[in-house]
């Protein structure tokens, strides 16, 4: 890794029930095979946060557009 370069990374809540109680030595298998998505707190791609504190930056827009589409599909508009 070089200073000044953009990074890709993920942060995980070690207190999430799906992985809580594991040590550094036992953490990898639960993270790979059993971790709930609620454990993922932050995701950065090329230095830009896509997910921060468990929320997608466009979550409100995505949900709003989904609700509109749902209403159109089911004939409520």
Q: So what's the pLDDT on residue 1?
A: 56
Reported as a pLDDT band with limits 50, 70 and 90, residue 14 is very high
Percent residues over pLDDT 70 in the chain: 96
Contact (CB, 8 A) for 42 and 53: yes
List all residues 6 or more positions away from 44 whose beta carbon is below 8 Å from its beta carbon: 7, 8, 9, 10, 50
Kindly give, in sequence order, each residue whose CB lies less than 8 Å from that of residue 62, ignoring residues fewer than 6 positions away: 56
Q: What is the pTM of this model?
A: 0.70
| pLDDT score of 40 more than 90 | yes
């Amino acid at each position: 890794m070089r200073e000044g370069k953009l990074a890709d990374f993920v942060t995980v809540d070690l207190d999430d029930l799906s992985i809580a109680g594991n040590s550094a030595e036992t953490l990898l298998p639960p993270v790979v095979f059993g971790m709930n998505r609620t454990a993922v707190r932050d995701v950065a791609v090329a230095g830009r946060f896509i997910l921060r504190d468990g929320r997608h930056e466009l979550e409100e827009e995505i949900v709003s557009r989904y609700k509109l589409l749902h209403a159109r599909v089911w004939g409520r508009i």
